């Protein structure tokens, strides 16, 4: 093995540095002689992007720890401080989830900000990510920080940065923070103040229930069918689990305030716990996490289970079929159901605004396009990531062109209302429960409802596949694959002609039959979108953090069997193209 002595020098520097705590030094001493692990920790650094930081917790430059959190926060402070006294006074609001070290990392971030004269508002306990987005705007802060790794395994933590509009930090600002991080020494260039001293001087302020009340008020404003909830308040039983995360308090609270009387918590999963002891993964996309909830539902023949991830920005559901089976609905299915519900229920009550708009992402189900067309609602698609939906909301407000009524992405993220600029599992849970009551009055369950949508708008199906790149040159091979697809653009796949290709890197949509090029219409991103003659689509997108290319296959057919057949053939064809 050829050893890069630079990472060994950094490893030894951490052990020798007087600013490194004893526990961290002991952890590093235990690694002595384990060159692969030392290189993993010191051979590279955590990447700071528009989503902030995310990584495995532990000692080292390429790990989430108090030192990497401090350095990132110093970079954020260097972005805010030059904006002047008012920006420093407006400050940064900080929240965190139930993961190990989340509270500690949040406090360390507040200490660094305070040392630069920037006011830090620190939540007094864990809170949902969407409440952080709301709090940024409610408190008129310059920025927000949320310590969370969303639904990643327990070994991970993260550091998400928001800007003054409540959406995740834009690329231009992220670049400034990244430049500051890369140009600084992780120990010598980071300033920290004593926590209690900063509190006494007013540079760190705790926030709590007063923000909860304002946030819950905004969530409850999104309710549409209060009379349906009242009619079903006792008869509709709902099981809820927060998967040991930050939804444990506010989701049941908003359901109770809405009027539901039979919210049954999964007791084993209600306590916040960074070990997530009852699940393999705290991810509502995976049915396994609902095992205990499903056992409860079977005993009492309950139709609906709701689960939120550790930072309560994603929500998943399990429903009971007509045959009594418990089925996990996909993010696309729930997104379609909620889109239809928001439009239909608002229309019934005369609550639809003028120029209504739904916003979704390019990798989400195509059903809303037909659904919105028939209901005279404009639908917009944006790049993957809820921050782009947030940007669209801001655009609507700035231009007055449309009124936002609902937004969703396939990865279990939903938002109604403009009080936040990120996906919100609290409002998502409320609307799902309310929707279940609305359908109950029609004699239908949510299982019946999704099948009714298929019969009305057509059968749609989606599949996401990750093509993993193996070996030391995995990232280079991933980039080479994307370059090859551009240089040798396929004109057909699975026996079906490609009619057009959207290349969001070049910003062009090319019609293959004529060669005519037109603007792709979205910001620059390394994404290819293939439109096929049969109306189906395939999106190819490399991961920004892992050596894999993701395929999003979006199909429509005459029935479920036809959709599944199309999904199978397109997945097979594109897997072959990836070889």
Q: Is residue 25 part of a domain?
A: yes
- Does 477 lie in the same domain as 416? no
CB contact at 8 A, 78 and 87: no
Together in a domain, 413 and 556: no
What distance in Å separates the CA atoms of residue 419 and residue 435, rounded to the nearest whole number? 21
Q: Is 369's pLDDT higher than 60?
A: yes
Residue 540 maps to which CATH number?
3.30.310.50
Q: How far is residue 243's CA from residue 313's CA, in Å, rounded to a whole number?
A: 12
pLDDT score recorded for residue 477: 85
Report if residue 544 sits inside a domain: yes
- In this prediction, residue 379 has a pLDDT band, given cuts at 50, 70 and 90, of very high
With respect to residue 412, please indicate whether it lies within any of the assigned structural domains: yes
Cβ–Cβ under 8 Å, residues 532 and 551: no
Token representation of residue 311 = 């930072």
- pTM, full prediction: 0.95
Instruction: Look at residue 276 and tell me if it is in a domain.
Output: yes
Half-sphere exposure of residue 513: CA atoms within 13 angstroms, side-chain side: 6
Secondary element (H or E) of residue 181: helix 171-182
Does 90 or 473 have the greater pLDDT score?
90
Hey, CA dihedral for 311, 315, 320, 326, is it positive or negative? negative
70 and 112 co-located in one domain: yes
Q: Which of 427, 457, 487 finishes a domain? A: 457
pLDDT tier for residue 48 given thresholds of 50, 70 and 90: confident
Query: Could you tell me if 517 and 452 lie in one domain?
Result: no
> Which residue intervals of 3-139 are DSSP H helices?
5-16, 22-29, 35-42, 66-80, 85-90, 102-115, 129-138
Looking at the structure, tell me whether residues 51 and 184 fall in a common domain.
Answer: yes
Digit-coded pLDDT (tens) for 438-491: 999 999 999 999 999 999 999 999 999 998 887 767 778 888 889 999 988 899
pLDDT digit string, tens, across residues 263-311: 999 999 999 999 999 999 999 999 999 999 999 999 989 999 999 999 9
Q: Are strands 378-382 and 326-328 parallel, antiparallel or unpaired?
A: unpaired
Q: At what angle do helices 171-182 and 66-80 cross, to 10 degrees?
A: 120
Active-site residue set: 150
Residue where a domain stops, chosen among 413, 434, 457: 457
Least confident of 178-182, 191-195, 546-550: 546-550
- Of 173, 167, 142, 155, which Cα lies nearest the Cα of 49? 173
Average pLDDT, the chain: 95
Torsion, Cα of 426, 427, 431, 432 (10° steps): -30
Residues 424, 416: Cα–Cα separation, whole Å: 8
Residue 372 pLDDT exceeds 80: yes
Using the predicted structure, report yes or no on whether residue 4 has a pLDDT greater than 70: no
With contact defined as beta carbons under 8 Å apart, do 449 and 333 qualify? Answer: no
Strand 120-123 with 204-207, pairing? parallel
In a domain, residue 210? The reply is: no
At 277, phi and psi to the nearest 5?
Answer: -65, -20
The pLDDT, as a whole number, for residue 1 is 34
- Strand partners of residue 123: 207
> What's the average model confidence in pLDDT over 509-521?
95
Question: Final residue of a domain: which of 436, 457, 478?
Answer: 457
Both tokens assigned to 388: 């782009």
Q: Is residue 211 part of a domain?
A: no
Nearest residue to 84 (alpha-carbon basis) of 118, 135, 114: 118
In contact, 237 and 298? CB cutoff 8 Å: no
Same structural domain for residues 321 and 385? yes
Residue 380: which H helix or E strand, with range?
Answer: strand 378-382
Q: How far apart (Å, rounded) are the C-alpha atoms in residues 430 and 222?
A: 9
Q: Please, which residues bridge with residue 518 across strands?
A: 509
Q: Do 222 and 354 lie in a common domain?
A: yes
Q: Considering Cα of 270, then 307, then 257, then 92, what sign does the dihedral take?
A: positive
Decide if 498 is inside a domain. yes
* Per-residue confidence band for 545, with pLDDT thresholds at 50, 70 and 90: low
Whether 113 and 154 map to the same domain: the answer is: yes
- Within 338-417, strands assigned E span 356-361, 378-382, 403-409, 413-415
Element (H, E) at 256: helix 250-258
The 10 Å Cβ neighbour count of residue 470 is 9
Kindly list the distances between the CA atom of residue 133 and the CA atoms of 398, 402, 422, 467, in Å, as whole numbers in the listed order.
Answer: 19, 22, 7, 33
How many helices, marked H, and strands, marked E, lie in the chain?
20, 23
pLDDT of 519: 96
Output the pLDDT for position 2.
Answer: 40
CA 348 to chain centre: 31
**Residue showing tokens 């023949």:** 301
- State how many domains the chain has: 4
Give per-residue burial for 130-151: e unless 16+ CB within 10 Å, then b: bbbbbbbbbbebbbbbbbbbbb
In three-state form (DSSP H/G/I as H, E/B as E, the rest C), the secondary structure along 125-180 is CCCCHHHHHHHHHHCCCCEEEEECCCCCCCCEEEEEEEECCCCECCHHHHHHHHHH
- Residue 413 CA to residue 407 CA, distance in Å, equals 8
Angle at Cα 194 formed by Cα 169 and Cα 61, nearest 5°?
50
Mark whether 134 and 167 lie in a shared domain: yes
Per DSSP, helices labelled H in 502-579 are: 560-578
Q: How many CB atoms lie within 10 A of CB 533?
A: 11
Q: Do 376 and 238 belong to one domain? A: yes
CATH number assigned to the domain comprising residue 77? 3.40.120.10
- Answer yes or no: is 192 within a domain: yes
Domain that holds residue 9: 1-41
Could you tell me if 448 and 469 lie in one domain? no
Residues 277 and 263 in one domain: yes
- Provide the residue count of the chain: 579
């Amino acid at each position: 093995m050829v050893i890069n002595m630079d990472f060994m020098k950094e490893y030894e520097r951490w052990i020798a540095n007087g600013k490194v705590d004893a526990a961290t030094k002991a952890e590093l001493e235990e690694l002595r002689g384990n060159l692969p692990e030392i290189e993993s920790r010191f051979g590279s650094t955590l990447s700071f992007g528009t989503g902030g930081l995310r990584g495995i917790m532990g000692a080292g430059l390429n790990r989430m720890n108090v030192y990497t959190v401090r350095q990132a926060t110093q970079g954020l402070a260097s972005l805010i401080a030059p904006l002047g006294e008012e920006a420093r006074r407006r400050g940064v609001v900080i929240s965190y989830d139930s993961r190990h070290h989340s509270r500690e990392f949040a406090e360390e971030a507040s200490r660094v900000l305070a040392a630069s004269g920037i006011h830090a508002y620190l939540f007094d306990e864990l809170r949902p990510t969407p409440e952080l987005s709301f709090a940024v705007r409610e408190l008129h802060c310059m920025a927000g920080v949320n310590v969370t790794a969303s639904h990643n395994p327990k070994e991970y933590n993260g550091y998400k940065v928001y800007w003054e509009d409540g959406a995740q930090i834009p690329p231009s600002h992220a670049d400034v923070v990244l430049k500051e991080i890369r140009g600084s020494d992780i120990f010598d260039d980071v300033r920290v103040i004593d926590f209690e001293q900063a509190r006494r001087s007013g540079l760190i302020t705790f926030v709590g229930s007063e923000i909860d009340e304002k946030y819950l008020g905004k969530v409850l404003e999104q309710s549409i069918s209060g009379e349906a909830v009242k009619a079903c308040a006792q008869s509709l039983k709902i099981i809820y689990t927060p998967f040991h995360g930050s939804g444990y308090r506010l989701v049941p609270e908003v359901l109770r305030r809405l009027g539901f009387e039979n919210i049954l918590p999964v007791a084993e999963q209600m306590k916040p716990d960074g070990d997530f002891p009852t699940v393999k993964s705290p991810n509502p996309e995976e049915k396994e996490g609902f095992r205990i909830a499903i056992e409860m539902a079977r005993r009492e023949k309950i139709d609906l289970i709701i689960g939120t991830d550790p930072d309560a920005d994603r929500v998943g559901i399990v429903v009971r079929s007509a045959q009594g089976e418990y089925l996990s609905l996909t993010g696309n299915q729930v997104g379609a159901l909620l889109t239809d519900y928001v439009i239909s229920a608002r229309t019934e009550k005369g609550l639809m605004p003028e120029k209504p708009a739904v916003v979704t992402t390019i990798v989400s189900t195509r059903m809303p396009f037909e659904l919105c067309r028939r209901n005279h609602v404009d639908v917009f698609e944006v790049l993957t990531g809820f921050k782009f939906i947030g940007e669209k909301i801001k655009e609507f407000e700035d231009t007055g062109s449309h009124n936002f009524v609902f937004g969703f992405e396939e990865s279990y993220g939903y938002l109604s209302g403009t009080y936040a600029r990120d996906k919100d599992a609290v409002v998502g849970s409320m609307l799902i429960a309310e929707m279940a009551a609305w359908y109950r009055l029609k004699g239908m369950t949510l299982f019946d409802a999704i099948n009714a949508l298929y019969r009305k708008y057509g059968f749609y199906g989606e599949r996401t596949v990750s093509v993993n790149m193996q070996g030391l040159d995995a990232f280079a091979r991933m980039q080479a694959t994307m370059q090859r697809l551009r240089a040798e653009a396929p004109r057909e796949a699975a026996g079906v002609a490609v009619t057009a290709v959207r290349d969001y890197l070049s910003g062009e949509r090319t019609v293959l039959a004529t060669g005519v090029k037109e603007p792709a219409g979205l910001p620059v991103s390394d994404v290819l979108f293939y439109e096929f003659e049969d109306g189906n689509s395939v999106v190819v997108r490399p991961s920004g953090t892992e050596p894999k290319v993701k395929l999003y296959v979006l199909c429509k057919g005459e029935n479920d069997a036809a959709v599944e057949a199309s999904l199978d053939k397109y997945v097979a064809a594109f897997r072959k193209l990836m070889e």
